[in-house]
Chain A
Amino acid sequence: MKKKPLLQIKNLHAKIGDKEIIKGLNLTINPGEVHAIMGPNGTGKSTLANVITGKEGYEVTDGEIIYKGKNLLDLDPEERALEGIFLGFQYPVEIPGVSMTNFMKAAIDAQRKYKGQDPIKPGEFLKMYREKQKMVNMPDKMKNRSVNEGFSGGEKKKNEIFQMAMLQPDLAILDETDSGLDIDALKAVADGVNKLRNNDNAFLVITHYQRLLDHIVPDIVHVMYDGKIVKTGDKNLAKELEEKGYAWIEEEYKKSKQNA
């Protein structure tokens, strides 16, 4: 039996200031699927992630995003998060003075409140915290540090996956989580994702390179160019891109534009 789509993006147009970045994008993600979006720099991949999660500064001029049957664009960023959308940031932000444990406790309790549940018990919280830390190979002492403050590039990315594991989203968007990672960190990140994968959740993995996709095997691979998805295929498309680069995509796209 076919499941209802988790996320449907139809003819999305979005701009920053006067500059149109997303130019008619269509994408459907079903529960249980892992999608990868690849493409050269500056084609709007991160903008897509920011528009889905509701970051300020972007104007949607046309199209719609339906998530779990709801119009996502009507919701505040925190409501989208509470509805199960998680963004693994390309550049995780440092928040001096806010400890990781306090931050996560606040996030978990916000989620529980949204579901009509009482705040999590400290013991239960710490147990879960340790479990998930282990999962991404994060040393226990990091829990007392301020959010991302003084973390190395790899630690920051692992910390994103850790937060994802804590919050157990229905749709996780990972924005270039692989950039700047050594192979061990990359494996830890991929392991984390693979352990969380199930039939009810979905992942949208934004990446520039194919190497992450050796570890997180996608069901569907999209190529984004000039604010649109211009090509969709299976995991082999990622390998093809790795071998041939993006130039041929560019040419194909320009040709099709001329023909039109």
Chain B
Amino acid sequence: MHGLKKNIKNQNKMPRTRKLLEQHIIDFFENTFSKQIQEEPGFIRKARIEAFQKFKEKGFPTLKDEKWRKTNLNRLLDSYYHPVAHSVIKDSYENDICIVPELKTKNIYLVNGHYAGDFQELENGVLLGSIKQAAGKYPELVQKYFNRLTEKSTNPMDYLNTALFTDGFFMYVPENVKNFNLQISQKLDAPVDALINTRNLVIIEKDAQVNIIQCDDSNEHRSHFATFDSEIFVKENAELNWYKYQNINNLSALFSNSFSEVKEKARFYTNFYQLNGKLLRNEQFADILGKEVEVDHYGLYLVDKTQQFDNVIFISHSSEGSYSNQKFKGILDDSGKGFFNGQILVKKDAQQTNAYQKNDNILLTDKAKISSQPFLEIYADDVSCSHGSTTGQLDNEALFYIRQRGISKRDAQLLQLYAFTGELIEAIKIPELIEPTKDLIKKRLNGELDVCEKCILQCTVPN
């Protein structure tokens, strides 16, 4: 009797389903997956096994972990997720129209952690294709970069991703290639509730210039638990601009972590829009390794119902004379939650660093919550750093002013909310993206945005 009681107590401490899911993943890796990866290059297998051991030890993050105190995964882990989703559903996605009008791009599709399409060696020397295929075709190149940045992570989500990724995209842009535009459609389209792990590697050589536009979609009815890890290398005087629009269903969670290394005079810019999903969490780690680097991370999160959207940013200044800027804005409605954790590290030798951070929020209800945590760690003495965080409601005086001009209360609110997002739209550097982005935000604020209605890329969902 006594023993039974003790057991029940223990079960209450750790929800049974979390443990079961962890165990299930462990069993899957040990009994099934480890056999499937025997053909893989040794360096990948080694990385997987090390990461797996760490995951086995640690399990999923808990509320006790520093950066997870506000993000309770229990509400995701009470489901069963099939550890690998079906592979690609259609033979080819070439017929899917996936374009921002008037913008000339290469298009790629990532479906349930798989790369849909052939490996491409383009005329300008760009290599684009599945990361697994790249590891076979260009083992030295891939080995040089793969897992170099993620290896240092202590986030269990990265252990999971490294251990279990099915595939992902690899992009190598040689020196001096300019204006290379890539559009990525990620589709979470599992036929059963599934765990999906996608792993990417992006290398931009010296003086090259690249734009990436990414759209994350899902089907409407399945729970997906997805990780999306990217390692990004931006070499001397290169430029990478990455736009992302996330619009997945209300049952699914997507953890997108990026690790970047940015060299002298390089520019790395991201502008991410978190539009819909049960839980969206973007972690971005940027290591500035040279002078005159510019790193900009912009983000907008529009949260409602019981959704939670997180942004965890870490910018490390290791070299002098560089610039970084974090600007994140959120609108939280209903019982929506948000978490912003923005860290700036200025190392001892990183003199003349300019590093800025701003996080602004509007809460539309008493139940909506935002937790905003700026964190500056500065060891150099000649730097200019600032951070600021605001949380407020809509301005009632402005609301009355607008209504007094004959504009309905709802439209007056929308006008103000839309205006609040303006700063991020103004930061968009590709003119063709401005109108579609405005449309998406308006639709979302108006409650008209549906899953994959139509993402910015006007993709069609695979049938």
> Beyond A56-B396, A76-B409, A106-B411, is A97–B419 a contact (Cβ under 8 Å)?
yes
Q: Which of A92, A94, A106, A163 contacts B407 (CB 8 A)?
A: A106
Q: Is the CB of A93 within 8 A of B397?
A: yes
Chain B residues with CB under 8 A of A86:
404
Q: Which among B395, B404, B409 has the highest number of chain A CB atoms within 10 Å?
A: B404
Segment touching B, from A107-115, A204-212, A215-223: A107-115
B454 within 8 A of A: no
Residues in chain A near residue B419, CB distance under 8 A: 95-98, 146
Partner among B395, B401, B403, B415 whose Cβ is within 8 Å of the Cβ of A76: B403
| Shortest Cβ distance from A86 into B: residue | B404
A87 to B400, CA, bound (A): 11
Cβ contacts under 8 Å, A102 to chain B: 415
Q: Does A77 contact B (CB under 8 A)?
A: yes
CB < 8 Å A-B pair total: 69
Interface pair A56/B415, CB less than 8 Å apart: no
Residue of A nearest to B401 (CB): A93
Cβ–Cβ contact A92 & B401, under 8 A: yes
The chain A residue sitting closest to B408, CB to CB, is: A78
Are A56 and B406 in touch, CB under 8 angstroms?
A: no
Residues of A within 8 A of B (CB): 53, 55-56, 76-78, 81-82, 86-87, 89, 92-98, 102-103, 106-107, 110-111, 114, 146, 163, 167
* 8 Å CB contact of A78 from B398, B409, B415, B418: B409
Most buried by B among A76, A96, A163, A167: A96
Which residues in A have their C-beta under 8 angstroms from that of B422?
97
The answer to whether A106 and B415 touch (CB under 8 A), given A78-B408, A81-B405, A114-B406, is yes
- The chain B residues found within 8 Å of chain A, CB to CB, are 395-398, 400-409, 411-412, 415-416, 418-420, 422-423
Q: Inside 8 A of B401's CB, which chain A residues have their CB?
A: 89, 92-93, 95
Contact across chains for B405 and A56 when beta carbons are under 8 A apart: no
- Pairs A-B, 8 closest by C-beta atoms: A97-B419, A81-B406, A107-B405, A93-B401, A97-B422, A77-B403, A110-B406, A78-B403
Given known A55-B400, A96-B419, contact A167–B406 (CB-CB < 8 A):
yes
B392 CB, min distance to chain A CBs, angstroms: 12
Complex Cα spacing A102 to B133, Å? 51
- Distance between A154 CB and nearest chain B CB, rounded to angstroms: 18
Contact B395 A93 (CB under 8 A): yes
**Contact call B405/A93, Cβ cutoff below 8 A:** no
Q: Name the residue in A53, A77, A106 with the highest tally of chain B Cβ atoms < 10 Å from its Cβ.
A: A77
- Chain A positions within 8 Å of B396 at CB level: 56
Residues in A with CB closer than 8 Å to B420 are: 97
- What separation, in Å, do the CA atoms of A107 and B407 have in the docked complex? 6
A95–B412 alpha-carbon span in the complex (Å) = 11
